[in-house]
Amino acid sequence: MKTVRAFLLNLQFFTSIPIKMNLPMDAPHMNRAVGLFPLLGILQGGMYSILLFTLVEWTPLSAVSIAFILWLAWIFFTGGLHLDGWMDASDAFFSYRDKEKRLEIMSDPRTGAFGVLSAIVLLSGRYLFLYEIINLLHSYSYIVILFIPFFSRGVIGGLLVLAPLAKKEGLAAFFRERVSKIALVSYPLFCLMALVGLSIISPAIVPFFLLLLVSAVLSYLFVRVKSEHWFGGITGDVLGASAEGTEWLLWMIVWLWHYAGMA
């Protein structure tokens, strides 16, 4: 039951799925919840893969329309939570001020021009990747899409547990007080299980899975180093921005893979 409650806590906290329950947020449940981040990512990726398959195979919609529906679904599933972090972190970064001022800008509920421009670049880039992937769609594509949120959630978990905090209050600090490094033990196990499953079902995807894994690790290392340099550490907004940035990177890799391997 603890695992079920922890997973429901993830759905309640990080998605727009209505979970109308009063769930415990003590250390045991929070540890388990962070340990289940990759599973949350698989659920998210599975929803997009099923939606994509349904739209491609059972509707007369064009690639433009299908890409737009998936693009909206990606935003609606998270309720814009991570997108808000991307915009706030962009406003702070492009201010080119010191760390303290950047933290102050991130805490400001108002959105500046740089936040809006960065959101336009992020969302238009994602739409481009979706549209062109649909035009070059392969049966393997549905499986590959599963692992984009799988790895981006893993990056969030790693940063949440291991990266230094920029401040002692806020969402990141709230999690850090209740989560220990033991939460990350499940991450290599999930990766191993996925690798074994792919080796049995679709061996041809294994090299690409490893490419996404390496890309996610590099994204984690980049954010961990640069967040400390730019902001003094991570915050809830930085975590949201890292989720969006990692997913954008992985979508770009999937897009390039379709051109190199399918065109």
Q: What distance in Å separates the CA atoms of residue 96 and residue 104, rounded to the nearest whole number?
A: 13
Q: Compute the average pLDDT of residues 182-192.
A: 92
Q: Average pLDDT over the chain, rounded to whole?
A: 88
pLDDT digits (tens, 9 = 90+) for 167-185: 888 778 888 888 888 889 9
Task: State the pLDDT at residue 95.
Answer: 79
Q: Please determine, for residue 260, whether its predicted confidence score (pLDDT) is greater than 80.
A: no
Name the residue ranges covered by the structural domains of the chain. Answer: 2-14+24-262
Q: Please determine, for residue 65, whether its predicted confidence score (pLDDT) is greater than 90.
A: yes
Task: State the pLDDT at residue 66.
Answer: 94
More confident residue, 129 or 172: 129
Q: Compute the average pLDDT of residues 103-122.
A: 85
Q: Please determine, for residue 2, whether its predicted confidence score (pLDDT) is greater than 80.
A: no
Q: Please determine, for residue 85, whether its predicted confidence score (pLDDT) is greater than 80.
A: yes
Task: State the pLDDT at residue 243.
Answer: 93
- Reported confidence tier of residue 263, pLDDT bands at 50, 70, 90: very low
Q: Please determine, for residue 38, whether its predicted confidence score (pLDDT) is greater than 70.
A: yes
Q: Compute the average pLDDT of residues 90-94.
A: 86
- Reported confidence tier of residue 261, pLDDT bands at 50, 70, 90: low
pLDDT digits (tens, 9 = 90+) for 216-259: 999 999 999 999 988 888 998 899 999 999 999 999 999 998 87
Q: Please determine, for residue 186, whether its predicted confidence score (pLDDT) is greater than 80.
A: yes
